[in-house]
């Protein structure tokens, strides 16, 4: 009886190990989903579809820029979920034919609409997510200069050569977040 009992114990442990391994991915995914949320999903999906930008990229930007804090204001006065500079928000709002003011920039609907349209414009200009993100952070003028000087390639192949440490880290962080969003929400 003890040999049979030991076999059942060993079999139970083995079944437990196999089930743990099979559930690991699910558990891991569920934990990641708590940290990589999809708050404001309605607006992100709506404007991502409208402006043809991957919604996971927009979530990755929001995660890095404000961690989904709609009232976030940076020390450089960037505002809202997508941390828009007011002059940029005004320029993009004109393209969209939308009235904008300092308070509306903080409203999730307008912030996501304008930020997503801006990313769409940058992506259309550079045809590369890394370069578009660099321009979102450091400005198109800087990215154009880096391309002209040969610091980074026009195709973004050597994006790690971005000379501004903050922008270099920013691009890496967003791209990492983007890959995580794609993995857990696939």
Q: How far is CA 59 from CA 30, 90, 146, 176, in A?
A: 17, 22, 27, 12
**Is 80 exceeded by the pLDDT of residue 62?**
yes
DSSP H or E stretch at residue 9: helix 2-35
Q: Supply the pLDDT for residue 1.
A: 56
Q: Residue 96's pLDDT is what?
A: 97
Question: Residue 77 has what pLDDT?
Answer: 96
Q: Provide the annotated active-site residues.
A: 65
In what helix (H) or strand (E) does residue 128 lie, and over which residues does it extend? none
Between vectors from CA 64 to CA 150 and to CA 33, what angle results, nearest 5°?
A: 130
Q: Provide the CATH topology of domain 36-184.
A: Lysozyme (1.10.530)
SS3 1: coil
- For residue 58, what are the CA distances in angstroms to 71, 103, 179? 17, 21, 12
The residue with greater pLDDT, 8 or 41, is 41
The crossing angle, in degrees rounded to 10, of helices 41-51 and 55-65 is 130
Q: What's the Rg (C-alpha) of the chain? A: 22
Residue 14 banded pLDDT, cuts 50, 70, 90 = confident
Asked if pLDDT for residue 29 goes beyond 80, the answer is: no
User: What is the pTM for the complete model shown?
Assistant: 0.86
Whether 24 has a pLDDT exceeding 70, the answer reads no
pLDDT bracket for residue 180 (50, 70, 90): very high
């Amino acid at each position: 009886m003890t040999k049979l009992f030991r076999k059942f114990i060993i079999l139970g442990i083995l079944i437990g190990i196999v089930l743990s391994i099979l559930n690991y991915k699910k558990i891991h995914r569920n934990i990641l989903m708590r940290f990589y949320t999809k708050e404001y999903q309605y607006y992100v999906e709506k404007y991502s579809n409208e402006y043809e930008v991957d919604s996971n990229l927009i979530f990755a930007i929001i995660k890095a820029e404000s961690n989904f804090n709609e009232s976030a204001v940076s020390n450089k006065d960037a505002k809202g979920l997508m941390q828009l500079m007011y002059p940029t928000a005004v320029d993009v709002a004109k393209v969209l034919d939308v009235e904008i003011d300092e308070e509306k920039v903080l409203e999730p609907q307008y912030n996501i609409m304008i930020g997503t349209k801006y990313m769409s414009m940058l992506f259309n200009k550079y045809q590369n997510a890394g370069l578009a993100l660099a321009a979102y952070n450091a400005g198109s003028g800087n990215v154009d200069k880096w391309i002209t000087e040969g610091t980074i390639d026009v195709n973004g192949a050597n994006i790690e050569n971005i000379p501004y440490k903050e922008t270099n880290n920013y691009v890496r962080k967003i791209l990492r977040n983007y890959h995580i969003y794609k993995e857990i929400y696939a």
